[in-house]
Structure 1
Amino acid sequence: MKLLCWNVRGLGKPRARRRLHATLRDAKPSIIFLMETKLQSNEMATARRRCGFLSGIDVSSRGRNWGLFLARKDGCDVTLRSFSTHHIDIMVSRDTEGHCWRFTGFYGAPEEHLRKNSWNLLRSLDNCPNVPWVVIGDFNEILLSTEKMGGR
């Protein structure tokens, strides 16, 4: 099973959509998680169908910011556990014997004064110690100033 996680920084732009379609064609992921789509839920549903994904979970943007998008291919059995403006948490079935694992797509607050809340959210999601758990996303955190690229 392949996962694709991408901070698209705006899925409404034709260039971003072309890049996404090319990446999906090459990678052929079963699950995709996109952050900063900057789209409303109905726009994300249209984008998801155009990408060949019939099922998914969308968290609308707030104005021209944020927006989360999780889509899965048919045959990939998932159960939604929870979602917010900062995460989408699902349980993924792995095989016919019922083994499963957790996937959390995470988008940490870009505002420095709100990052503690993001980490507290992630800690609160850590509630299934016996299930393998993958957390992927943009945590909006850096350890060293040399890691910072672009923007402020």
Structure 2
Amino acid sequence: MRLISWNVRGLNAPNKRRLIKSQLELMKCDLVLLQETKLNLQSADRLFSSWKVWNFCSSPSLGASGGLAIIWKDSAIHFSLVALSSNWMLGIVKRRTSNLKFWLFNVYGPSGIIEKRMLWNSLITLTTPLQNVFLIFGGDFNAIANLNEKVGGIIPNKRVILDFSNFIQYLSLVDCMPLNGSFT
């Protein structure tokens, strides 16, 4: 199974939609987490319904920012949405050809310091009852766990880095490095 997490930075332009769809087909993805779709529910429904091979669920953008989607190939994956908010989606993934089953979070982190802390706390609360299950977190957390991850731009608040680092440690998460490209 191939899982991709991608901050698409908007899916409103037709050319971008075609590019994203062709890239997903080229990468032979089974399961895709999209962040920052910038789509309302009707636009997401229209778009992903036209991608015949894919099934989907989405959380709408707030105005012109945010928006999440999880799309999957129904022939390979069974996905059940459990819960969602404007910053995360949670579901159960079962691979159709094996016994593989896991819980999956798609996360789009807010930019504000207080909102980030609230998100980390809510994700910890959500995962507390899921102690003996396999969890995968994907997405754009809009945070870094250490300064070595930052390339250019404004240096983030050290408290935010510490908070995110503590969140990762508390949940015993493993930060996977990208296979291609410079972004996680």
Q: TM-score, normalised by structure 1?
A: 0.87
Query: Could you tell me how far 1:91 is from its partner in structure 2?
Result: 0.8
Task: From the superposition, tell whether residues 151 and 9 of structure 1 become closer, same or farther in structure 2 (CA, over 3 Å).
Answer: farther
1:2-45: per-residue Cα shift (whole Å, max 9, x none)? Answer: 11211111110234213202211211211111111111111111
Q: 1:128 is matched with which residue?
A: 130
Q: Which amino acid aligns with 2:141?
A: F
How far the C-alpha of 1:109 sits from its partner, in A, is 1.1
Give the unaligned 5+ runs of structure 2. 156-184
In angstroms, what is the RMSD of aligned CA positions? 2.3
Distance 1:2 1:151 in 2: 34
For the structure 1 residues 151 and 63, does the alpha-carbon distance in structure 2 shift closer, same or farther, using more than 3 Å as the test?
farther
Q: How many residues align?
A: 152
Identity over aligned pairs, percent: 29
What's the counterpart of residue 118 of structure 2?
117
How far is the alpha carbon of 1:98 from its aligned partner? 5.3
- Partners of 1:104 and 1:119 in 2: how far apart? 12
CA contact 2:78–2:96 (8 Å) conserved in 1: no
| Structure 1 Cα separation of the partners of residues 68 and 59 of structure 2 | 5
CA distance in 2, matches of 1:57, 1:150: 33
Aligned to 1:25: 25
| Contact preservation (8 Å) 1:94, 1:101 | no
Partner of 1:62, secondary structure, is coil
Distance of 1:144 and 1:87 partners within structure 2:
25
Q: Quick one: structure 1 residues 108 and 100, their matched pair in 2 at CA, closer, same or farther if it must change by over 3 Å?
A: same
Deviations 1:61-106, CA, capped at 9 Å, x for gaps: 1111111111121131122111111111111123577552111111
Tell whether the 8 Å contact from 2:41 to 2:59 is kept in structure 1 after alignment: yes
1:72 aligned residue: 72
Give 1 or 2: higher helix fraction. Answer: 2
Give the structure 1 partner of residue 43 of structure 2: 43
- Compare CA radii of gyration and give the structure with the larger one: 2
Equivalent-residue separation in structure 2 for 1:129 and 1:97 (angstroms): 22
